[in-house]
Every structure is written in C-alpha cells, then in structure tokens.
Chains A and B, each alone.
Chain A
Amino acid sequence: MQTQRKHEKGRTVIELRGVVKVLGEGETAFEALKGIDLRITQGEFCAVVGPSGSGKSTLMYLLGALDRPTRGEILIEGANIAGLDDRGLAQVRNSKLGFIFQFHYLMPELTALENVMMPMFRAGTGLHEASQRADELLSELGLGEKAHRPPGRLSGGEQQRVAIARALANQPLVVLGDEPTGNLDTQNADKVFAIFERLVKEQNQTIVVVTHDLDMAARTQRIIRIVDGRIMDDGPTQEVLERHKAQAMARND
C-alpha cells in the first residue's frame, strides 16, 4: 500500500485553499499569511523561500498540522485538517508527516536508534519491527555503526541525519524541513540535500523545505517565494531563480 501510493506521481498530497493566519491578539494581531492557495503533488521537491518575517515558517507549521489556520482549508490527501482537534492533528502528524528542524531536537537521553523509533512507537509499531526499521534507516544514511550512540556523541551532521531517519520512520506522505541545513557547514548541508535528492528520485518522496539559502533552493524542483504573507512567485526552480535574478538586477540598475 505504502509503496504503491508513492509511485502515483502527480497526485495532490497537500492543498491549501484561501489560508489566512492571524498571529497575536488584539492590537498586536497581524496577518502573517494573507490568503495562500497552494497545491503540492506527490514526488515534488519544493523549497519555500522568502525573507525573514515573510510568513514562510508560519506556512510550514500549518503544512505540518502543528497549527490551525484562522481561515481557509488545508487538505491532506483530500481531508480538511483545519477542523480537527488536538488528538486528530497529532494523529495526522504521526502518520502523514515527518519533520526535520534547523536544530535537530533529538532526545539527548535516548540513543540514535531509540530516537528513530519514537514516531514508530506512537504509531503502535512493535519493538522488534521498529528497531529493525530504525536500524535500516540509519544504515541507509550511513549511521549503522553509530546507532547505539547517544546524540551527544555524534557530530552535528550525523545528528541531523538521525533526525532525517526519524522523519522517515513512519513512511510519511510529506517530509517537511524547517531550515534543515541552517545549522550545518556546507559539506554536511550538501550531504543532507544529497539524501533528499535520493529520496525524491528513488522513492518518489514528497519533500517541502523552508530555506533562505538560494544555493540549496536551487537543487529543488520547485520554488515557492513568499513575501509579506503572500505567494509572490511559484514555479519550476530554474524559472523562479531567473525571474528573481532579473528583478534583483533591475533593482540594482
């Protein structure tokens, strides 16, 4: 089932319809997102770019079912999650989504293997099966030998790879990255993107990353540019980048 779903390229996995998000209350309230319509299809590797404060993180938390929109609909595989309660959202996060953050947020008291097993435990996977899959994932990412180390005894790059393995643990519909390479040196950042590229190519994995690093964004297939809570540009990576360069040059002249 899982693998079959992944091969259906072009199917809509997440769709946003008129999403508005108001942050804060009363006088300090402002619209972080001012009406977003977006459709992400199976197997896409997208980058969400934009200046800081543009609303890209807010968009990320909505895509990740960590937050609810003030208005509008968020459809994950056709089902609107805007009306779900906390338990329902948690269920969606556990079964459909995999997160990777700038700061890896591994549990320091757990081994790398146990960290990867945590989402599987929540899904009800048995100890044996979970440990087997976690071991496979870590081996694929070149950490097989270090599976039993606590995060404190892994390098930053290795820790981020553990976080990727954890995000993949429940075979998510979409992997969401919030500045996943923001805290890494170029070499390690490159490794992380290489893993993403491989996942997209080999497993048709849908990946959405928020980044302000245009070099990294250049390696994706699609760029969504957000400015002031609105989508300013959206399209194949090359086209968006060229338009962006042209605009920047026009401003310089």
Chain B
Amino acid sequence: MTLYPLMLVARRHLMHNTFRTAVSVTGVAIGVTFMIMLSALMTGFEKKFVTETVESTPHITIYDEKRQTTDEFASWLSDTTGGVTTVENAQPRQTPRRIAQPLQIVEMLRKLPEVQAAAPNVIGTAIISFGSRERGVGLQGIEPESQEAVNEINKYIEDGQIFDLYSSGGAMLLGGGVAENLGVRKGDLVTIKLRGGESRSLRVVGIFRTGITTIDYSRAYTLITVAQQLLGLGRDVNQIVVRLRDYTTAREAATRIEAMIRYRTESWQEANENFLAIFVIQQTITYLVTGGILIVAAFGILNILIMLVMEKLPEIAMLKSMGYTRGDITLTFFMEGIAIGLTGVVTGCVMGYYLTVAVGALPIPMKGLIQSEHLTMNNAPGLYVVAGIAALVVTMLASVIPALRAGKLDPVETLRGHA
C-alpha cells in the first residue's frame, strides 16, 4: 500500500509539467531511435556482407601451397649441415603448382562431419580480350554440380544457367563488372589467354552478379576440363573449395583440415580479415556515438530530476513530517526517472522501427565492397532489446543521484529556511 501513494505523487509530478516531462522523454527516445537505426544499418551492412560472402564464396579454400616458411627451410638446412645458415632472396619454384591426389582429398573432406560439400577447382590468371579491349580476370575452372553445392552461382546468373557451361565449343560465365568493362553481352565470343601463352575462344553463356564487387569485377567461370587444358595441368587441380554445415566454425575447421592435408587452408574469415576488422571498428564507432547520445539524454533526466527535487523541497519536508521515510522519497523520484526512461524507450523503439524502415527504403545505390540498391537494414528484435536495456541502465544511473539526494534532505533545514 505504501507504493501506491509514491506512484501517485510520481505520476502527478510528471503529469503536472507535461512539457518538461515530454522534453526528457524525447531525449531518451531520440537516443534509442538512433541507436536502433544506426545499429540496424551497421549490422545490416555487415550481415549482408557476411551472407553474400558465405553464399557466393566457399567457406574454406585449400590452396596448392605448403605453408612452409623460409625459416623452416633454414632450420632444416642447419640441422643437416650442423652449422648456422641463413636463407636470403628465397623464391618459389617456377614449376606449376598443383594439389596432388585431389580426388582422394575431396573424398576425404566430404566424409568429415562438419563438411557439407567439397569441390575441386582449377584457377589461373587470364586475360580476356573482346575486340580491342582486354581485362584481366581470375579464371576458375569448376565442376558445375559439385561447385553449386559449395557456393551458389546459379542464382546470381542474370540470363542463363550454370549448366550452360556444358554447351559444346567451350563456354564461360563472366562477372557483370568485367562484362560491362569489356562491353560483352551474352552470346559473344571472347578470347581468353593464359599467362603461360595458351589461348582459346570461349562463348559467354551467362553473366552473373553476386553484388560483391571483388567477384563481379574479376571472375570468370569455365569447365574444370577447359581450365586444366589451358593451364596444362592434365587431370590435376590447384584449389579445393569446401562448404561447411555451419559457416561460423570455418576458422577451426580450416585449422583442422590444414593439419590433416598439409596444404594451406584458408577460412572465409581469414580471406576477408581486413573487411571484418573494419566491421569491428564500425561497430565500436556505432556504440560510441549512440552511447554518447544516450549519455546526453541521461544528463537531461539528471537535470530535470535535480530541478524537480529543488522545486519540491517543501513537499519533501511535508512528506517526511507525515512519516514517509528516506527510502520512500528516494523511490518516488527514482520511479519518476524510470517512468521517463521507459516511456522514452517505448517511443524510441517505435520511432526507431519506422526510421529504420524509412532509411532502408531510401534509394541509395551502392558500388563498393558490395553492390546494392538500398542500404541494408538489419531490423532485428535483438537490437531493440539492446537499445532498450542500454537506455534503461543509463536512465537508472541518472535517476539514482537526484533520488538519493531527495531522500537525504533534512526536513528541519527546509522548514527553518521557510520559517
């Protein structure tokens, strides 16, 4: 029953000066709104990047390199010769590199429980020429069926099918960016020339756009047999790609696989390390900015509650003379702060939702790391929970100080001042 009068007083205090209450509620609401919108924007961008990356690139890539460093070689030399050896100007061998026994490795990988699919690739740097224009691309020889199981290509092809690669006379799929640069359209015949000197004509049977700029502007797919022939690899391959059941475990899986097969194995995170690092910085900035907004809002609450307490000195003295305790008074002003905070959070969540939707609807074509027509907003419930809790915690901290001050006030001092 004692809570009822405290709530009554708290409510009337807030309702009495609605303008002042509204201002402080707005402060919190704006903080929450921007926190939601900004984190939706930032995580949206990251999520889109990650999703597109894990959809359109392999989770794990195995390269035709042994992870052997110069130092290892030097120590091996020292061990054999028994002296001190340094290796300078080390260079990789000129012979074409390859992964030995690729089929056995692929079979073994497919049997691992965390692996969903694995496919052999042949990759090489090539120059595509169309008329007088030339562009360098990363040519990737694939087996359409097994490759599709590793990373989706088919759904990004604008006109055509991944299986069109089987059409007779040699076919290729070209990234949208490269096609634009060359002025190539579907059905055109282009010349592809490998660094080694081999060249051949291939028909463009489809153009794909993944939305990831680095892929769309630099990649071409062809059949694995065509690539093997062009690179002179025979039946060998120089890359194996893997899709995992859970892409988040790629780092650990890559380490395990590398330990088994001794070839350099890279997870998608490792391949995109620089971008992922940017996201960490980006998130930090987001939370710093929104945290700043919330702290400003908290000072608003602090300010208003301190003013309210100063204004209500006689009432506080009166309440104490009636038998209300220090705790009762503290609780009353604390509840006022919390009420402001809660109202601000609810308003902010509603406003944040609409702002997020509105910003997501803005036509902002992006060409950068990823391509998109709009800003990608991650309008996830979790963000609202985080923003709401953050705002409430800050509100509580801001309310505690004036509330405790109000509770501590000595009624006698107030009464003497007035007498």
Binding site for B on A (CB under 8 A): 57, 61, 64, 66-67, 86-87, 90-95, 97, 99, 101-103, 105-110, 114, 117-119, 121-127, 166, 178-179
Give the chain A neighbours of B411 by CB distance below 8 A: 66
Shortest Cβ distance from B322 into A: residue? A119
Determine how close the nearest CB of chain B comes to the CB of A64; give it in whole angstroms: 7
Output the residue of A106, A114, A118 with the most chain B CB within 10 A: A118
A125 to B320, CA, bound (A): 18
**Do residues A125 and B1 form an inter-chain contact, with CB atoms below 8 A?**
yes
Sample of 25 A–B contacts (CB below 8 Å): A57-B415, A57-B419, A61-B415, A66-B415, A92-B323, A93-B320, A94-B323, A95-B323, A101-B321, A101-B415, A105-B314, A106-B318, A107-B9, A107-B12, A107-B315, A109-B16, A117-B5, A119-B323, A121-B1, A121-B2, A122-B2, A122-B324, A124-B2, A125-B1, A178-B419
| Closest residue of A by beta carbon distance from B323 | A94
Contacts of B325 in A (CB 8 A): 86-87, 90
B84 within 8 A of A: no
CA distance A121 to B2 in the complex (A): 6
**How far in angstroms is the closest Cβ of chain B from A62?**
10
* Most central of B2, B13, B325, B416 by chain A CB within 10 Å: B325
Interface residue? B182 (CB, 8 A) = no
Given A99-B321, A124-B2, 14 other A-B contacts at CB below 8 A? Answer: A61-B412, A61-B415, A66-B411, A66-B412, A93-B320, A94-B322, A99-B322, A101-B415, A106-B318, A107-B9, A108-B16, A109-B12, A110-B9, A121-B5
Chain B residue numbers with a CB within 8 Å of A125 are 1
Contacts of A124 in B (CB 8 A): 1-2
B interface residues, tally (CB under 8 Å): 29
Alpha-carbon separation in the docked complex, A91 to B2 (Å): 13
Known contacts A102-B419, A107-B12, A122-B2: does B412 contact A166 (CB below 8 Å)? Answer: no
**Does A110 contact B12, Cβ atoms closer than 8 Å?**
yes
Query: In the bound complex, do residue B323 and residue A109 qualify as a contact, i.e. CB atoms below 8 Å apart?
Result: no
A103–B4 alpha-carbon span in the complex (Å)? 26
**8 Å CB contact of A66 from B9, B314, B315, B320:** B320
**Docked CA distance A93–B318 (Å):** 11
User: In the complex where A110-B9, A179-B419 touch, is A121 in contact with B4 (Cβ < 8 A)?
Assistant: yes
Instruction: Let me know if B419 and A109 touch, CB within 8 A.
Output: no
CA distance A91 to B327 in the complex (A): 13
Say yes or no for B319: interface residue by CB 8 A criterion. Answer: yes
CB < 8 Å neighbour of A126 from B1, B315, B322: B1
Contact B323 A105 (CB under 8 A): no
Which residues of A lie under 8 Å from residue B318 when comparing CB positions? 99, 101, 105-107
Contact call B15/A109, Cβ cutoff below 8 A: yes
B260–chain A nearest beta-carbon distance, Å: 71
B9 to chain A: which residues have CB within 8 Å? 107, 109-110
Q: Is the CB of A93 within 8 A of B323?
A: yes
In this assembly, does B93 line the interface, its C-beta being within 8 Å of a C-beta of chain A?
no
Nearest CB of chain A from residue B407's CB, rounded to whole Å: 10
Q: Mark B307-345, 1 if CB is under 8 A from A, else 0.
A: 000000011011111111110100000000000000000
Closest residue of B by beta carbon distance from A94: B323
B8 touches A103 (CB 8 A): no
Contacts of A95 in B (CB 8 A): 323
Residue numbers in B under 8 Å from A121 (CB-CB): 1-2, 4-5
Complex CA–CA separation, A97 to B320 (angstroms)? 12
Q: A178: which B residues are within 8 A, CB to CB?
A: 415, 419
Q: How far is the CA of A126 from the CA of B328 in the complex (A)?
A: 18
Q: Is B418 an interface residue (CB 8 A)?
A: yes
Which of A102, A109, A110 has the most B CB atoms < 10 Å from its CB?
A109
Which residues of chain B are near A64, meaning CB under 8 Å? 321
Contacts A57-B416, A61-B412; A118 near B319 (Cβ below 8 A): yes
How many whole Å from B106's CB to the nearest CB in chain A? 77
Which residues B320-375 have CB closer than 8 A to chain A?
320-326, 328
B322 touches A118 (CB 8 A): yes
- Residues of chain B with a CB closer than 8 A to A86's CB: 325-326
Contact B418 A93 (CB under 8 A): no
Kindly state the separation between the CA atoms of A109 and B14 in the bound complex, as whole angstroms: 10
* Chain B residue nearest to A123 in the complex (CB): B323
Q: Which residues of B contact A101 (CB under 8 A)?
A: 318, 321, 415, 418
How many angstroms from the CA of A130 to the CA of B275 in the assembled complex? 67
Taking the closest CB of chain A, its distance from the CB of B238, in whole angstroms, is: 80
How far in angstroms is the closest Cβ of chain A from B320? 7
Complex CA distance for A91 and B321, rounded to whole angstroms:
10
Give the CA-CA distance A107 to B314 in the complex, in Å. 9
B342 to chain A, nearest CB (A): 20
Q: Give chain B nearest CB distance to A196 CB in angstroms.
A: 18
Q: Given A108-B16, A124-B1, A179-B419, is A103 in contact with B314 using a C-beta cutoff of 8 Å?
A: yes
What residue in chain B is nearest A109 (Cβ atoms)? B12
Q: How far is the CA of A109 from the CA of B8 in the complex (A)?
A: 10
Question: Given the known A-B contacts A57-B419, A93-B323, A94-B323, are A67 and B412 also in contact in the complex, defined by CB atoms under 8 Å?
Answer: yes
* Residue pair B13, A109 in contact (C-beta under 8 Å): yes
User: Nearest 7 A-B pairs (CB), nearest first?
Assistant: A94-B323, A109-B12, A121-B5, A105-B318, A119-B322, A93-B323, A109-B16
Contact across chains for B16 and A90 when beta carbons are under 8 A apart: no
Docked pose: A106 CA to B109 CA in angstroms: 81
Which residue on B lies nearest to A176, using beta carbons? B321
**Which residues of chain A come closer than 8 Å to B2, judged between CB atoms?**
121-122, 124
Cβ–Cβ < 8 Å partners of B315 in chain A: 105, 107
Chain A residues closer than 8 Å to B320, beta-carbon distance: 66, 90, 93
Q: Fill in one digit per residue for B64-98: 1 if any A CB lies within 8 Å of its CB, else 0.
A: 00000000000000000000000000000000000
Chain B residues lying within 8 Å of A122, measured Cβ to Cβ, are 2, 5, 322-324, 328
Closest to B407 in A: A86
B418, A102: Cβ atoms closer than 8 Å: yes
Report how far A121 CA is from B322 CA in the complex, Å.
10
Tell me which residues across on chain B come within 8 A of A110, comparing CB atoms: 8-9, 12
Bound CA–CA A171/B17 (angstroms): 34
